[in-house]
Amino acid sequence: MKLLALGAAAVAVAALGVLPGSASADELPTFDFTDCPAPPANADPGTWRCEAFVSQGKLTIHDREIPLGELRITFSEGRVNGQYAQVFGAMRHAPAPLPGIPGATIQVRYGGHSDFQSNDERRGEVDLYAVVQHPLLRKDCSIGTLAAPLHTVVHDDPAVPPRIISNDPRIAYFGVVDPDLALPATSGCGALGKLVDLRLGLPSAAGENTFQQTTYVQYKPL
């Protein structure tokens, strides 16, 4: 299995990322392994590691760019009875300002499914939904829901080729992009939901949106 970064596992990610090239691979973030899940009880000894992703990205809906700031994903991977396995840890994203709607924020949350094992067709996939918050919107306002999440499949971004930043500790840097993310209309927003949809251009079919991330990942043996 390959990582989502360099052929070992993938992100997601997650979630919805920053403009490729906006971060230098020399400006390393601080990695946090607090959310690392423990290997299963029947894990093959010596095969498991935790992976801490720190991403920056943006979501583009038609020609509208939505910077999402920092997104962190943590998970563990290894082998059980000789077969690849993974355990999701956590996704953390602070609410980011939502352009076009003064006072509104958007927060990406985990949608309950992830697969960070890359293959020839993609780097990884993850289910997400995005909570939209504003004093005049209902608290359940979101794009996608936990019950009906957005499914994002990310591929290598040619603009940000993968590279190893450090071998001790092991740190990689790479970019991913999902050019086929479909976005539904908002739900749970109340009477102003249609106005939010109008401002954001929702719903928006696959091919009209782009989700990009630049990501650092550090690996920690378990």
State residue 27's pLDDT score: 81
- The 10 Å Cβ neighbour count of residue 83 is 7
Check residue 20 and give its pLDDT: 35
Residues 191-214, mean pLDDT to the nearest whole number: 96
Confidence check: pLDDT of 23 > 80: no
The whole-number average pLDDT for the span 172-188 is 97
Looking at residue 7, its pLDDT comes to 35
pLDDT value at position 14?
A: 29
pLDDT tier for residue 25 given thresholds of 50, 70 and 90: very low
Residue 71 confidence (pLDDT): 97
pLDDT of 90 > 90? The answer is: yes
Report the Cα–Cα distance between both ends of the chain, in Å, rounded. 17
Contacts of 128 (CB under 8 A, 6+ apart): 12, 13, 14, 15, 16, 91, 108, 109, 110, 111, 144, 149, 150, 152
Give me the amino acid identity at 217: V
The model's pTM is 0.84
| pLDDT score of 133 | 98
pLDDT digit string, tens, across residues 128-177: 999 999 999 999 999 999 999 999 999 999 999 999 999 999 999 999 99
Most confident of 17-21, 24-28, 53-57: 53-57
What's the mean pLDDT in 11-33? Answer: 54
